[in-house]
Structure 1
Amino acid sequence: MVVVAVEARKLDLPTLSLSSPQVTSLLYDPNSLSLALMHSDSTFSLYPSFSPFSLSSSSLPSPQSLVPGPSSCACFVNLNPNPKFPDCPDRSRVVFVTAGPHSGGSRVVLRFYFLGNDGKFGKAQVVCSQNGISFDRKSGVIVDVSHGMKVVLSGSVNYLAMYSGSAGKVWVFGVKMVGNERDLRLVKCAVIDCNLPVLSVFISSGFLVLGELHGVRVFPLRALVKGRVGGRRRSRVVKGMIENLKMPNGAIIPLGESYNLDKNSANLKKSTLMANGHACNVPEGVSSNSNVDRNHDAVKLRSLKLRQDSGEVGMQFILFDDSVVEGIKSRVPGYKIRKAISIQALSHQKFLILDSNGELHLLHMLRSGCFKMRRLTGIIQVQRLAAFPDMSATAQDAWISDGLFSLHNLVICDTDTSENQNDRGCNEEKIIQSSVTGVIFASENIQDIIALAANSIMILGRGTIYTCCSSVYSTADLTIIRFLMS
């Protein structure tokens, strides 16, 4: 018999004033152990080095710093040391970035808060000299793009992605530490013009993933951030081969062959394609594994500009397993077209996708370089998703919630996603069997969830935070934890 030791704790949220705003969502950075609470008045509370199980009281302490509003979204960006600047810290740091409207919403303002040596978040000075971005000491970084009703931020190591729904653009920025401790450099690497709706944005593990109708679109990050250097020719799919095939998410070619331009000559080079039409192997010259040119920084870079559905720089669009016939299903009364509304990383090559129908899909990269999407067995209608990326484990954990009173712990094994040598189709449907190893029942609605570690979860209720940690992991027995929330 396997025994699982579980530690749970209830934390009351601090009352800053009689009219304190409610906490609406949670953000967490596992590298710096930093917690951010978003409030209903669009402000943020920051807690660096947050450890819920080491607190001496049952109440959450007052935040170390407050980020004033208005802020529509935020994310954490981890920074690696820059060896070209000896005054920079010799260890990785974290920056908290918020986005909000500026000049009545005609522009977007990005504010950067750097976690310094003193263990506190403080405003960062940002250097940016490219067209469309400027730094204002009072406001922050002003981005010349419309804010509108929807702006999405996603952060990774040294990179930041921003999507504006009204402007229909995705911006990819590079963030570096320069000079003094709180000095940063912001570089506009790429701008993607979106002629199709984008529901979610996620940047991690060397990929930019856009959640769309019918599936997800994957860009290799290295191809985007290298931009146009000198006279280098970018690889691209020949437009003449796809211009006559019109699909809701751009060109989708049946399984076969197409041609990419070789970077070293004008000759055409064959490359195997996925069943959805985009190259399985990242085009030569923009591979995510290619080395950056030694003279990269010596050449003036211009930000890469491309269309969302152009098929350039090794972009792949991966359909949900049943989206091929959604044009027929959409005419059925009550049917809802699938939208990729949430994306979480499980490892370097695995992503968990939540669609608008409450079902989960696993996106993972094969040895051939193409991505495959497979649907997980349905347990509940998922409303909330949280995953802790574990790059070395043979099985990855994820937490899902129905948005009401239950939270389930899922385990996805590598054996379910291994590539079959006899299976050369990149999109052949196969449902992955997911196992539930733990269930949490609550007496109040679950507002939000974040994964603190592979075995730890934080739950936001109504005015209360709950944390749960299992000291022994078990896949054999089903562990049920019941909270009596008051």
Structure 2
Amino acid sequence: MVVVQGTKVPLPHPSSLSPSPHPLPTTSILFEPSSLSLALTHSDSSLSLYPSFSPFSPSQTLTLTLTIPSPSSSSTFLLLQNHTNPTSSVGPTVLFIVSSPHRTGILLRLYRLRRLETPSFSRVTDVLCSHKDLRFEPNLGVVLNAKHGASVRLAGSVNYFALHALSSNKVWVFAVKDDDDGGLRLMRCAVIECTRPVFSVNVAFGFLILGEENGVRVFGLRRLVKGRSGKRVGNSKQLRNGGGGRGAGLEAVNCNGDLKGKMERYVVATAVKQTNVKLKHDNRDGGSCFVTLKVNEVKTKSPTKVSMSIKAISIQAVSQRMFLILDSHGDLHLLSLSNSGIGVDITGNVLQLPHIMKVRSLAVLPDLSTMSQTIWISDGCHSVHMFTAMDIENALNEADGNDCNEKLMHLPVIRVLFSSEKIQDIISLSANSILILGQGNIYFCFYT
């Protein structure tokens, strides 16, 4: 018999550490599974960081190690691989990056998890930047010479993170590595100039994926940071799993193109010395791949069908080649990529999943050590539904013999959780546990 248990998480509130008598509601949550680190964003855009978060041991969650003051516009966790000793039992270095507006630029504040007897986060006080548009100010952080505007998005992975600034219409790809002096080295690997809006950004398993209108744009991360040849250029140092030093120059690639077949030229500019290398827009050059989402049709009195625009507002990795996409209408799509992202030819296809409900939030914890990943979805009201990646594959296999007709697909829901509070956000902690953010409280639910 399956037993589902739920409990309220007794986290201390930042107001208990400040003179403000009023509690600050939590608006979103982030979780880093390798270190069990938890980040809470509050209504005033301040953040709270909890290392080694353990909902099974409430006493361990009562120590708040760091409060990051407002303002903040976005945040992400980043892992640094230990190249000198990849099999180290200590595990990868965990960083937490926060973006904020700063005068005419974008401020990046970096925090490192110290794996001591009592783990804690501390601000990084030494960052080496070698590019003109980046500067490090010891009392603040790293300042990027770009307009912050109304929206900035951060997406982190292993060794790399991406930053999208709506006002600048650009996506920056950065590499981070440990410096020999104990600090960090921050390197700008690529800049993507976007003439079409970007609504979501994801970096995972060697891919950079941009959520756009009516589809997603997929880049091979290795292709971006190492250039077309895939070799180290110049005398600069290089990160593993892709370059992190000075780039190979300027490449004009087909990205963010028009859906009607018109090719628009986007500039993917690598870091320092730029030599103009124009690439042809054919499959051999690769660079990027645009995959179109299914466009909903609106019924009108006119005999002409009207297509509604949909936006890819959330992208979650399920496995090395599968990604779930949540669109602005509340529908889910499965993106399947044909290669590992190392080669230059990236192709993929998208299939819309059955209409279980209108989805408002999505949580996946990709774990390559298991046969199938657990997927949690919420309607944004009072329910959370659970199914697995294996359920999706089985549904696709069953529908394959019927021309993949959506009506013939059946996606079983394994568990359904109900909350007394309206659900704002959900975070997957493991295959059988989840954090639910309600209207002021956080709940931990698991089944045995």
Deviations 1:374-406 (A, max 9, x none): 111111100111111122433322111111111
- After TM superposition, list the pairs within 5 Å mapping 1:383-462 onto structure 2: 383-413=360-390, 414-416=393-395, 433-462=410-439
Q: Distance in 1 between matches of 2:146 and 2:272?
A: 21
Deviation of 1:193 (Å): 0.1
Question: Is 1:192 the counterpart of 2:192 in the alignment?
Answer: yes
SS in 2 for 1:196: coil
- After TM superposition, list the pairs within 5 Å mapping 1:199-210 onto structure 2: 199-210=199-210
Q: Give the conservation status (yes or no) of the 8 Å contact 2:202–2:210.
A: yes
Q: Give the conservation status (yes or no) of the 8 Å contact 2:382–2:421.
A: yes
SS in 2 for 1:225: helix
Distance change (3 Å), C-alpha of 1:214 and 1:329? farther
Distance change (3 Å), C-alpha of 1:246 and 1:404? closer
Instruction: Give the corresponding residue for 1:42.
Output: 45
Q: Distance in 1 between matches of 2:110 and 2:194?
A: 26
Distance change (3 Å), C-alpha of 1:455 and 1:379? same
- After TM superposition, list the pairs within 5 Å mapping 1:125-274 onto structure 2: 125-181=126-182, 183-227=183-227, 229=233, 247=259, 251=263
RCO greater where, 1 or 2, for CA within 8 Å and sep 6 or more?
Answer: 1
Instruction: Give the corresponding residue for 1:319.
Output: 292
Deviations 1:19-65 (A, max 9, x none): 232111001000110000001111110000001011149xx525211
**Match for 2:28 among 20, 25, 28?**
25
Instruction: Give the corresponding residue for 1:268.
Output: none
Q: Give the conservation status (yes or no) of the 8 Å contact 1:227–1:304.
A: no
Q: Give the conservation status (yes or no) of the 8 Å contact 1:38–1:45.
A: yes
SS in 2 for 1:53: coil
Instruction: Give the corresponding residue for 1:121.
Output: 121
| Letter of the 2:101 counterpart | P
Deviation of 1:365 (Å): 1.6
Distance change (3 Å), C-alpha of 1:422 and 1:444? closer
Q: Distance in 2 between matches of 1:114 and 1:145?
A: 25
Q: Distance in 2 between matches of 1:39 and 1:329?
A: 47
Q: Distance in 2 between matches of 1:250 and 1:329?
A: 31
Q: Distance in 2 between matches of 1:343 and 1:448?
A: 15
Q: Distance in 2 between matches of 1:453 and 1:330?
A: 50
Deviation of 1:330 (Å): 12
Deviation of 1:131 (Å): 2.1
| Letter of the 2:152 counterpart | V
Deviation of 1:305 (Å): 9.8
Question: Is 1:351 the counterpart of 2:323 in the alignment?
Answer: yes
Deviation of 1:5 (Å): 3.0
Instruction: Give the corresponding residue for 2:110.
Output: 112
Deviation of 1:10 (Å): 1.1
Deviations 1:166-204 (A, max 9, x none): 0000000001112355x1111100000000000000001
SS in 1 for 2:35: coil
SS in 2 for 1:26: strand
Deviation of 1:120 (Å): 1.0
Distance change (3 Å), C-alpha of 1:54 and 1:381? same
SS in 2 for 1:21: coil
Q: Distance in 2 between matches of 1:329 and 1:456?
A: 48
| Letter of the 1:395 counterpart | S
SS in 1 for 2:413: strand
Deviation of 1:430 (Å): 5.7
Q: Give the conservation status (yes or no) of the 8 Å contact 1:30–1:452.
A: yes
SS in 1 for 2:191: strand
Instruction: Give the corresponding residue for 1:265.
Output: none
Q: Distance in 1 between matches of 2:107 and 2:218?
A: 27
Instruction: Give the corresponding residue for 2:240.
Output: none
Q: Give the conservation status (yes or no) of the 8 Å contact 1:23–1:40.
A: yes
Segments of 5+ residues of structure 2 without an aligned counterpart are 235-246, 265-270, 340-344
Q: Give the conservation status (yes or no) of the 8 Å contact 1:450–1:457.
A: yes
If the length of structure 2 is used for normalisation, what is the TM-score?
0.80
Q: Give the conservation status (yes or no) of the 8 Å contact 1:8–1:467.
A: yes
| Letter of the 1:35 counterpart | L
Q: Distance in 2 between matches of 1:302 and 1:454?
A: 46
Q: Give the conservation status (yes or no) of the 8 Å contact 2:27–2:42.
A: yes
SS in 2 for 1:224: helix
Distance change (3 Å), C-alpha of 1:233 and 1:159? closer
Q: Distance in 2 between matches of 1:446 and 1:331?
A: 40
Instruction: Give the corresponding residue for 1:376.
Output: 353
Which shows bigger deviation, 414-423 or 389-398?
A: 414-423
Q: Distance in 1 between matches of 2:80 and 2:447?
A: 30
Instruction: Give the corresponding residue for 2:244.
Output: none
How large is the RMSD of aligned CA atoms in angstroms? 3.8
| Letter of the 1:160 counterpart | F
Q: Distance in 2 between matches of 1:128 and 1:202?
A: 24
SS in 2 for 1:52: coil
Instruction: Give the corresponding residue for 1:481.
Output: none
Q: Give the conservation status (yes or no) of the 8 Å contact 1:153–1:161.
A: yes
Q: Give the conservation status (yes or no) of the 8 Å contact 1:384–1:400.
A: yes
Q: Distance in 2 between matches of 1:440 and 1:405?
A: 8
Over the matched positions of the two proteins, sequence identity in percent amounts to 41
Q: Give the conservation status (yes or no) of the 8 Å contact 1:376–1:433.
A: no
Q: Give the conservation status (yes or no) of the 8 Å contact 1:74–1:153.
A: yes
Q: Give the conservation status (yes or no) of the 8 Å contact 1:218–1:316.
A: yes
- Count of residue pairs the alignment pairs up: 405
If the length of structure 1 is used for normalisation, what is the TM-score?
0.74
Segments of 5+ residues of structure 1 without an aligned counterpart are 253-299, 472-486
